[in-house]
Amino acid sequence: MVSSANSLLEERRARQRPVIGSSKTYVLGESDAEAERLRVLDEVYGKTSRALLQRVGLRTGWRCADLGCGPGHIALWLAEQVGATGHVTGVDRAELFVNLARSSAHQRGFHHAHFTEADAIAPPLTDATFDLVYSRCLLSHLPDPLLVLRRMTALAKPRGAIVVEDIDCGGGFAQPESPARMRHLEMYQAIVRRHGGDPLLGRKLPRLFRAAGLTEIHIEIVTPVEPVAAVKRLYPLTLARLKPALLKAGLATDAEVDALIADLHALADDSSKTVSSCPLVQVSARRPA
Ligand X SMILES: C[S@@+](CC[C@H](N)C(=O)[O-])C[C@H]1O[C@@H](n2cnc3c(N)ncnc32)[C@H](O)[C@@H]1O
Q: How far apart are CA 89 and CA 114, in angstroms?
A: 5
Instruction: Check binding of 138 to ligand X (CB under 6 A).
Output: yes
Window contacting ligand X (CB under 6 A); options: 90-98, 185-193, 219-227, 255-263: 90-98
Kindly tell me which of 196 and 206 has the beta carbon lying closer to ligand X: 196
Kindly tell me which of 94 and 285 has the beta carbon lying closer to ligand X: 94
> Of residues 56, 120, 164, 237, which one binds ligand X by CB under 6 A?
120
How far apart are CB 107 and ligand X at their closest, in Å? 18
- Contacts (Cβ under 8 Å, ≥6 apart) of 260: 180, 183, 184, 187, 239, 252
How far apart are CB 270 and ligand X at their closest, in Å? 27
Instruction: Check binding of 137 to ligand X (CB under 6 A).
Output: yes
Kindly tell me which of 68 and 199 has the beta carbon lying closer to ligand X: 68
Of 44, 2, 286, 46, nearest to 161 by C-alpha is 286
Instruction: Check binding of 105 to ligand X (CB under 6 A).
Output: no
Instruction: Check binding of 166 to ligand X (CB under 6 A).
Output: no
Total count of residues recorded for the chain = 289
Q: How far apart are CA 234 and CA 168, in angstroms?
A: 15
Q: How far apart are CA 123 and CA 154, in angstroms?
A: 11
Instruction: Check binding of 151 to ligand X (CB under 6 A).
Output: no
Window contacting ligand X (CB under 6 A); options: 91-99, 100-108, 213-221, 271-279: 91-99
Total of chain residues touching ligand X, rule CB under 6 A: 21
> Of residues 63, 100, 119, 278, which one binds ligand X by CB under 6 A?
119
How far apart are CB 125 and ligand X at their closest, in Å? 12
Q: Please, what is the end-to-end C-alpha distance for the chain in angstroms?
A: 47
Instruction: Check binding of 22 to ligand X (CB under 6 A).
Output: yes
How far apart are CB 138 and ligand X at their closest, in Å? 5
Instruction: Check binding of 164 to ligand X (CB under 6 A).
Output: no
Write out the E strands in the chain: 63-67, 87-92, 113-117, 130-136, 156-167, 174-175, 215-222, 274-275, 280-286
For 213-279, the DSSP string reads T-EEEEEEEE--BTTSHHHHHHHHHHHHHHHHHHHHHTSS-HHHHHHHHHHHHHHHH-TT-EEB---
Instruction: Check binding of 42 to ligand X (CB under 6 A).
Output: yes
How far apart are CB 215 and ligand X at their closest, in Å? 24
- The pattern of x and - marking residues 50 through 69 that bind ligand X according to CB under 6 A reads ------------------xx
Question: Which whole-number Å values give the CA distances from 152 to 49, 128, 161, 191, 223, in the listed order?
Answer: 18, 10, 10, 26, 25
* CA contacts within 13 A on the Cβ side of 62: 26
Q: Which spans of this chain sit near ligand X (rule: CB under 6 A)?
A: 22-23, 26, 38, 41-42, 68-70, 73, 92-94, 97, 119-120, 136-138, 141-142
